[in-house]
Amino acid sequence: MRKLILRFLAWVYRLCLVFSQSWHRGMPCGIKKVPARVISVGNITWGGTGKTPLVTKLARDLSYYGKRVVVLVRGYGKDEVEELRKNLPHIPILVGRDRVRTARRAVKQFNAEYILLDDGFQHIRLHRDLDIVNINAAAPFGPGGLTPMGTLREPLENLARADIFMLTKSNIGSKNLHWIRQKLLSIKPNAVIFEAVHKPLKFTDGLRNSFVPLSGVKGKRVAVLSGIGDPHSFEKTVENLGAEILFAARFDDHHPFTPSEIGEFIRRCGELQLREVITTEKDFYRLEPALKKTGASGRAPLDFYILHIEFQVGDEEDFIRRCVNSAQR
């Protein structure tokens, strides 16, 4: 019975999606343009594809070429906003559900030449000059099909709208790369496909704000704590650095950690005699307030190591050239 209900809800979701997208395309001025180049970085599944790291990289690269860049975020995940602001201190980050309004503000207030949409593939109301879709090579299209049965936000055939496909975490999902390429080419025969990896850069001690080398966890027994879309790839990266994971606490993407949850986590680590905890940069923005409320940030019963990654694109020169030269269609 539950499966039938989910299938019905997925059918209703699909109808609403088709209606919404057809309405915007069919209405006069249904899709709005702004006097700036708009690049969307999105995905077709829920979470875990590395949109924010790619937006960060792209914003830095465009700025390096002397372009005036503004990033637009809907603001569903406050952690992502904080991550962007910390990593892009000199680039405006505008938060708002109405992408057209925030895009116009980006042009008027900051004279933006390039506007980057974080998670913009499904938001067709704002015209974009380049649509980049990230696909997690380790878990490309998820199980179960369209939401709420599965993790797809749109039917796969809608990938034909994309201009560039970015196969992220391609080192972890290397065995899937060939068939993902074949699938994308069956949907869009002239698909432009790049591969990327999340390269570990360093750890920082979140409670002491100090640097920890990647080799600092080699051979250690650790716990991991995450509330992200793809915990498997994060944990695999930690293991590849030589750590042995004895306890993995997984929460939903963007989960707001509570003091009681963190208290229980600390208790469990104590039972297992674990001292080091590894978490993601995005998670620590939500974790730190809960730690302070438990008092753990003061007495530091655990070391919380934040893993910092760098988004690396194969054939980077060609990718950046296509982004810089994106022209209105």
Q: Which one of 2.60.120.260, 3.90.79.10, 3.40.50.300, 3.30.1540.10 gives the CATH number of domain 23-198+312-324?
A: 3.40.50.300
Burial of 24 (0-12, 13-18, 19+ CB in 10 A): middle
Phi, psi of 193 (to 5 degrees): -125, 130
Classify 328 in phi/psi space as left (phi over 0), alpha (psi -120 to 50) or beta: beta
Please name the fold of domain 200-310. Rossmann fold (3.40.50)
Contact of 194 with 314, CB cutoff 8 Å: yes
- pLDDT in 10s for each residue of the chain, 329 residues: 777 766 766 667 677 766 677 666 655 567 899 999 999 999 999 888 999 999 999 999 999 999 999 999 987 767 889 999 999 999 999 999 999 999 999 999 999 999 999 999 988 889 999 999 999 999 998 777 787 877 889 999 999 999 999 999 999 999 999 999 999 999 999 999 999 999 999 999 988 889 999 999 999 999 999 999 899 999 999 999 999 999 999 999 989 999 999 999 999 999 999 999 999 999 999 998 888 877 665 555 789 999 999 999 999 999 999 999 876 44
What's the chain's Rg over C-alpha atoms?
21
What pLDDT does 329 receive? Answer: 47
Could you state, in order of their start, the residue ranges of all structural domains in the chain? 23-198+312-324, 200-310
What pLDDT does 28 receive? Answer: 55
pTM of the model: 0.90
Return the sign of the alpha-carbon dihedral for residues 285, 287, 290, 294. negative
Tell me, yes or no, if the two domains 23-198+312-324 and 200-310 fold the same way: yes
